[in-house]
Structure 1
């Protein structure tokens, strides 16, 4: 059973990532019509209670529904429970989040995996819960494809929790908000009897790329924000992690495939922290930002080759650090300045970004997997080792890109999580992780 599940997971990852890497011409032909409940007519997502949202505790369940799990708008025999719950946004304000829970046919509710999707979109309509409820959108192709990844987990006896980790305003790349949404999703799932989970259920965190952002920020914030959840976490397994967004902006600038993700991340951070970047943009920058305001990653990959920060801003802002709002945002999102997880972790990272058209090798940044900077991830892992935190297993794939590294990551992540649930001692690579980059906060120009 275990070997079969692992093999199935590797095959599923390859299939899902093939969808993620669709070229622009194929993506443009993908379905954009809606089937089933649509983002505009589904009242489930709106909190309409008489009590103020702030009067509820984080993780309190506000609404519950059970529906058929849909794939590409087609209902399957599998049922999912969806919850509207109270959480908070990046600025600590009360908000309502949504999560979906699928029960294992062979599980007893004692263990669950919180799987964070890499749906990576600035459009709430592309969230996993919308896809599960039956929506079909271009950006929703990713969570629809990720349905394949749930099968090995369900077969292994795990109930699976799938949060809309970016929140209902789709604040792409706003890591702290990803973390609170994920942790409160686990709280909500443990409080709703329909899910089969309760306050004793042990939970593992897993996610790749955008899902790694949510996974890691949940692990970082859990000790302070959700100690009740942290006590039940067995570990986090992730790959392709965003650590220092300022480095990533420079790394992917001018690249062939990933350059368009940079303005998406700036838009997401601006949305999360109520920052107006318009005064800094030139006419072309405003055009790009307007076009991507509600875009999915599939609208950006490969469609802005050669795009750089400098091409989008007025001449006096050619240095990103000359924009105070930029410095403020990226420093809030820098994991190097965040707390240290108290649970063991498995972190995988590709370093063959040249295969995805990212050729840069800038001083202090170096190479990566095409979008994520390998030196940043190494430094973060070493930082945890130096602070004596829980064990960190680190694996770098020098010949694999962002998409490619996910294939070996996924089955290894499942095996690693199985071992944590089994109570085995977590492996550590501390002392063997190569040096990386400085993760010091950005300093405004002229300071």
Structure 2
């Protein structure tokens, strides 16, 4: 259907931060879709977890320049990586080494200079590995490439490879927390996260605050990466609901709790979300 909203030029940007641009362009597409009944003054909240938290970080950082017409009221980030380079090094050779392998396979497709460096230093087996992983799902890659060490597939020490100018530039470009957002931010992270280091997320929060961003930061002691994804859902949505309702927002704070699941509002919200998911799976209407 054709919309009466003013058309905007969609510009595909190069580099690994494309997910941020795609989030913003996806919001524009939703506003342009007549059946949703949205208008240009529709208020918007951005929310993502893990890799989605990283993409949401980029989207929030780009919004003021790339999509200034969007009325974004807040950005909620769950385990948003914080430092991709640090995460890459820490996970390499571990049970989750398929994740950095996926990242590397994706980066080499959008950064020709990185592809050139990898091609120059990788063995034939390494090149085959990166080619095969491009079409894998995340779970398949994690299962198949657990304990793989990139050092086994290159002809120089890993530290030397990562110190090459082209590689440094790529990881520098995809770092988050260096561009201030002009909306409040909510961040939640597990202290015991086995995939994303709490120190890296602490750093992202510190960089935002140093730039003047109002950040509400919650650190969870008992959860880990996957369980916090579930437990943080109602907390993040409630925080966004308050932004939509123009509830007063205190200055940013950091609070470490034993478990997000102990918050009084979490269990009822999880039960409601589960009921709605079940009704949706059956093709039945859900609550507004």
| TM beyond 0.5 | yes
| Contact preservation (8 Å) 1:244, 1:335 | yes
The structure with the greater share of residues assigned to strand is 1
| Equivalences for residues 390-429 of structure 1 within 5 A | 391-429=214-252
What is the CA distance between 1:432 and its match in structure 2? 6.1
Corresponding residue number in structure 2 for 1:89: 13
Structure 1 residue runs of 5 or longer lacking an equivalent are: 1-55, 59-85, 92-173, 353-368, 434-447
| Contact preservation (8 Å) 1:237, 1:417 | yes
1:322 aligns with 2:163: yes
Corresponding residue number in structure 2 for 1:348: 188
What CA deviation, in whole Å up to 9, does each residue of 1:136-165 have, x standing for no partner?
xxxxxxxxxxxxxxxxxxxxxxxxxxxxxx
Do the aligned partners of residues 219 and 415 (structure 1) sit closer, same or farther apart at CA in structure 2, a change above 3 Å counting? same
Distance in 2, matches of 1:194 and 1:431, equals: 41
| Equivalences for residues 212-361 of structure 1 within 5 A | 212-229=53-70, 232-256=71-95, 258-274=96-112, 275-276=114-115, 277-315=118-156, 318-336=159-177, 338-352=178-192
Distance in 1, matches of 2:91 and 2:158, equals: 18
SS at match of 2:217: strand
Distance in 2, matches of 1:213 and 1:197, equals: 26
What CA deviation, in whole Å up to 9, does each residue of 1:214-253 have, x standing for no partner?
2111110011111111xx1110112121222110111112
Distance in 2, matches of 1:407 and 1:246, equals: 26
| Contact preservation (8 Å) 1:252, 1:370 | no
TM-score normalised to the size of structure 2? 0.79
TM-score normalised to the size of structure 1? 0.52
Corresponding residue number in structure 2 for 1:430: 253
SS at match of 1:315: coil
| Contact preservation (8 Å) 1:309, 1:318 | no
Q: Match for 2:212 among 381, 385, 388?
A: 388
Distance in 1, matches of 2:207 and 2:253, equals: 10
Q: Match for 1:379 among 186, 203, 207?
A: 203
| Contact preservation (8 Å) 1:89, 1:272 | no
Distance in 1, matches of 2:163 and 2:211, equals: 33
Distance in 1, matches of 2:78 and 2:249, equals: 17
| Contact preservation (8 Å) 2:162, 2:168 | yes
Q: Match for 1:198 among 21, 29, 39?
A: 39
Distance in 2, matches of 1:348 and 1:319, equals: 34
Distance in 2, matches of 1:398 and 1:188, equals: 39
Q: Match for 2:194 among 362, 367, 370?
A: 370
What is the CA distance between 1:292 and its match in structure 2? 0.2
| Contact preservation (8 Å) 2:82, 2:203 | no
What is the CA distance between 1:315 and its match in structure 2? 2.7
SS at match of 1:298: helix
What is the CA distance between 1:330 and its match in structure 2? 0.8
Distance in 2, matches of 1:318 and 1:387, equals: 31
| Contact preservation (8 Å) 2:98, 2:142 | yes
Moved >6 Å (runs of 4+): none
What CA deviation, in whole Å up to 9, does each residue of 1:45-96 have, x standing for no partner?
xxxxxxxxxxx843xxxxxxxxxxxxxxxxxxxxxxxxxxx341325xxxxx
What CA deviation, in whole Å up to 9, does each residue of 1:394-432 have, x standing for no partner?
111233221121122101011111111110123444366
SS at match of 1:339: coil
SS at match of 1:384: helix
